[in-house]
């Protein structure tokens, strides 16, 4: 493995993937949003982003409200649509 290519783990499936192929997100106060550059962040792979079951499991783990959870699912769908 090359040293200069950072690899991160997807929080949902625990698969390791190149950082550039992952989506970096942040959780704070029971909401999930794109990483702002500050605070605790985590990664999701694109496969998990398309897997609504996995995404829902994640929002449960972070105790998102139903509304926030739905918004997050929508956000990921938009993300995939835009490539």
Using CB under 5 A, list all residues that contact Zn ion.
10, 12-13, 45, 48
C-beta of 48 vs 76, nearer to Zn ion: 48
Task: Compute the distance between CA of residue 79 and CA of residue 29 in angstroms, rounded to an integer.
Answer: 23
Nearest approach in angstroms of CB 6 to Zn ion is: 17
C-beta of 65 vs 80, nearer to Zn ion: 80
C-beta of 13 vs 79, nearer to Zn ion: 13
The number of beta carbons lying within 10 Å of the beta carbon of residue 42 is 19
Nearest approach in angstroms of CB 56 to Zn ion is: 14
Nearest approach in angstroms of CB 12 to Zn ion is: 5
CA pseudo-torsion sign 38, 42, 45, 48: negative
Angle, CA of 12, 37 and 7, to the nearest 5°: 45
């Amino acid at each position: 493995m090359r040293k200069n290519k950072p690899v991160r783990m997807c929080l949902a499936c625990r698969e390791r993937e190149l950082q550039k192929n992952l989506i970096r997100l942040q959780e704070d106060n029971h909401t999930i949003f794109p990483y702002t550059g500050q605070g605790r962040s985590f990664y999701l792979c694109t496969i998990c982003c398309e897997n609504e079951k996995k995404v829902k499991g994640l929002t449960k783990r972070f105790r998102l409200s139903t509304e926030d959870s739905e918004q997050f699912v929508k956000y990921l769908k938009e993300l995939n649509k835009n490539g």
